[in-house]
């Protein structure tokens, strides 16, 4: 069933979201309203990595 999904492309998108989120945090100047919400985004990104990205080297 895994072959029906474009896992590699999805993993690349996930990686881009992570990079964008980290860049946003880096430019926040310590603004907590940005940093804490980015942390939540990154926690969700980690779940995407667990569900998708971790498989890239296995399949």
Partner 1 sequence: MKDTEKYWNPILETLPQEKLRELQLKKFQNIFKWAYERSKFHHKLYSDAGIEPGDIRTFDDMRKVPRAEKSMMRAIQGKAPYPYGDILCVPLEEVTAYHQTSGTTGQPVYQPDTWQDWEWCAETWAYILYAQGYRDYDKVFIPFGYHTAIAFWEGHYGAEKVGCEVIPGGVLNTEARILKMQELRATAMMATPTYVLGMADTARRKLGIDPARDLQIRKITVAGEPGGSIPTTRKRMEEAWGAKVYDHVGATEFGAWSYECTYQSGLHVNEALFLVEIEDVNTGELITEPGRRGKMIITAFDRLAQPCIRFDSKDIMEWSPVECECGRTFRLIKGGVVGRADDITKVKGVLLAPTSIEEVVRSIPQLGDEYEVLVTKKGDLDDITLRLELTPGQEDNVDAVKSKLVDQLRIKTGLGYNLEFHKYGTLPRYELKAKRFKDQRPKE
Burial 10-34 (b: 16+ CB within 10 A, else e): bbeebeeebeebeeebeeeeeeeee
59 binds partner 1 (CB under 8 A): yes
State the binding string over 1-40 for partner 1 (x if CB under 8 A, else -). xx-xx-x-------------------------------xx
Rounded Cα gap, residues 59 and 8, in angstroms: 10
- Catalog residues that contact partner 1 under the rule CB under 8 A: 1-2, 4-5, 7, 39-40, 42-44, 46-47, 50-52, 54-55, 57-59
């Amino acid at each position: 069933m895994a072959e029906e999904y474009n896992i590699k492309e999805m993993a690349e998108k996930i990686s881009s979201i992570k990079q964008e989120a980290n860049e946003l945090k880096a430019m926040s100047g310590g603004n907590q309203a940005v940093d804490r919400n980015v942390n939540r985004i990154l926690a969700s990104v980690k779940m995407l990595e667990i569900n998708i990205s971790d498989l890239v080297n296995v399949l």
